[in-house]
Amino acid sequence: MKVLALIWESFLFSVDALKTNLTRTVLSLLGVTVGIFAIIAVFTLVDSLENNIKSSFDFLGTNVINVGRFPFTDDGRDYPWWKYFRRPPGSLEEYEFLQERLKSAEAITISVSAGTTVKAGSSAYEGTQITGVLETYPEVFDVPLETGRFFTDSEVKAARNVAIIGQEIATTLFPNSPAVGKEMKIRGMKFTVVGVFEKEGEGLFEISSKDQTALIPFGAFSKMYYVGGRRGVEPTIAAKGSEDDIGLVELENEMAGLLRAKRGLKPKEENNFALNKTEFVQNAIGSVFDVISAAGWVIGGFSILVGGFGIANIMFVSVRERTNIIGIQKSLGAKNYFILFQFLFEAVCLSLIGGLTGIVLVYFLSFMQLGSLELVLSFKNIVLGLGVSSIIGIVSGIVPATLAARLDPVEAIRA
């Protein structure tokens, strides 16, 4: 208890020293403030931008493998798109084949999309993405509805003309009344609205926003568009893997084997399809932002380094000014750690105040609206800022504090 009381007294001494030299205190913490502001501002911007971009790819699903002709990536060589273009597209028959035999998937579905204009009375909405789906679609992809319901199995199997629409479509076509239960036209055919998506807001990629999307049964889509073949609209098969299948390795291998068997590929023939994991897109985005984060450390690191040197310089001056007081304290029986903690606490407090000021500036910066990008100061970045500030304070103050603690009391009093 005595040791803790002495440490607390050392802290009070350091606070009193900061109050006594207020102007010097403010000037010395500016370097740390600028450094922490630079680092946390960059990290906040990077995190917000990364989350915004990743959310724009939510339409690809989570833990999902998509079957297509074109892979998301190639193995570092030139992308041979002409080879991929000649590959056969997926089909409803392949979906049914996989659905019957695939064992490592939690769910599997097929969907097909096209762009068109939807109408209701004298109102029209251009650029609508119409997607034909089966009853298994919600098992693979999220379908967040604000009002209404998803299609029933009988509606999908009977290819009924029912639709689920996005918020922008609903407000454009039916501005003064609820959309559920109303009729609209797609390529001249009447559809009854049975559900409305939750509002998703603007994203960096318009294709991902559910606000401009309309879901209809797969069979109803086939009435308006030719599905399959090289001249038709190409469907996409998607399978959702289990959480236990790390990296979806088991699901990928099983799907590859079944598709090769369905397409009659010989053992030495290469795959004429691509199995695209949604995690690849997120990992690619993450690697890009890791580089940007490293750049943020470099940018803010120089400012923090300057701030650290400033605090160290101030601490050396403070030790010189208070040498006589240190001698008196030691002659009265003050321990070395009592003296050391005085100056170490002073350096850490200086650095923490500068760090907190930088974090507060970033917090006010987060209220700025940068288009559709929403800046969010995360708890992780707050802890990071305070942690870096504390480390800078300790590193900057440890040498001056150690020199002060080792002063000879007689020589110190004479000084």
Cβ burial 364-374 (10 Å sphere, 16+ → b, else e): eebeeeeeebe
Question: Tokens 């750049």 — which residue?
Answer: 295
Please give the Cα distance from 177 to 33 (Å, whole number).
53
261 phi, psi to nearest 5 deg: -65, -40
**pLDDT greater at residue 404 or residue 24:** 404
Q: Which residues pair with 148 in a beta bridge?
A: 195
* CB atoms near residue 19 (< 10 Å): 9
Beta bridge partners of 238: 66, 109
The DSSP result for 349-379, as a single string, is HHHHHHHHHHHHHHHHHTTSEETTEEP---H
**pTM of the shown model:** 0.64
* Per-residue confidence band for 184, with pLDDT thresholds at 50, 70 and 90: very high
Number of H helices and E strands in the chain, helices first, is: 14, 12
Cα distance between residue 387 and residue 133, in whole Å: 50
Q: How many CA atoms lie within 13 A of 79 on its CB side?
A: 8
The mean pLDDT of 185-206, rounded to a whole number, is 81
Give pLDDT, residue 19: 66
Between 156-170, 190-204, 213-227, the lowest mean confidence (pLDDT) is in 190-204
b/e map 143-169, b = 16+ CB within 10 Å: bebeebebbeeebbeebbbbbbbbbbb
What residues does 137 pair with on adjacent strands?
none
Q: What is the dihedral of CA 228, 234, 236, 237, to 10 degrees?
A: 20
How many CA atoms within 13 Å lie on the side-chain side of 139?
Answer: 14
Whether pLDDT at 334 is above 60? yes
Give pLDDT, residue 210: 81
Strands 373-374 and 369-370: antiparallel
pLDDT band at residue 186, thresholds of 50, 70 and 90?
Answer: very high
Mean pLDDT value across residues 317-338: 77
Helix (H) or strand (E) holding 277: strand 274-277
Element (H, E) at 227: none
> Residue 194: which pLDDT band, with cuts at 50, 70 and 90?
very high
The C-alpha atoms of residue 287 and residue 73 are separated, in whole angstroms, by 14
The predicted pLDDT at position 322 comes to 76
Tokens 């098969």 sit on residue: 237
Identify which of 161, 248, 166 has the alpha carbon closest to the alpha carbon of residue 203.
166
User: What confidence tens digit (pLDDT) does each residue in 354-387 have?
Assistant: 888 888 888 888 887 666 667 778 888 888 888 8
* CB contact at 8 A, 285 and 54: yes
Could you tell me what percent of the chain has a pLDDT over 90?
A: 21
The tokens for 83 are 């080879």
Beta strands in 87-207 (DSSP E): 105-120, 123-133, 145-148, 162-165, 183-186, 189-197
**Confidence at 206, pLDDT banded by 50, 70, 90:** very low
283-301 pLDDT, tens digit per residue, is 666 677 777 777 777 777 7
* Token duo for residue 97: 């084949």
Nearest to 382 by CA among 374, 392, 390: 390
Whether the CB-CB separation of 280 and 54 falls below 8 Å is answered with no
Above 60 in pLDDT, residue 263?
Answer: yes
Question: Region 269-286: what's the mean pLDDT?
Answer: 76
pLDDT of residue 130: 93
In DSSP terms, 164 is beta-bridged to: 195, 215
**Closest CA relative to residue 275, chosen from 318, 244, 246, 239:** 239
The b/e string for 248-265 (b: 16+ C-beta within 10 A; e otherwise) is bebbbebbbebbbeeeee
Residue 235, pLDDT > 80, answer yes
Task: Quote the mean pLDDT of the chain.
Answer: 81
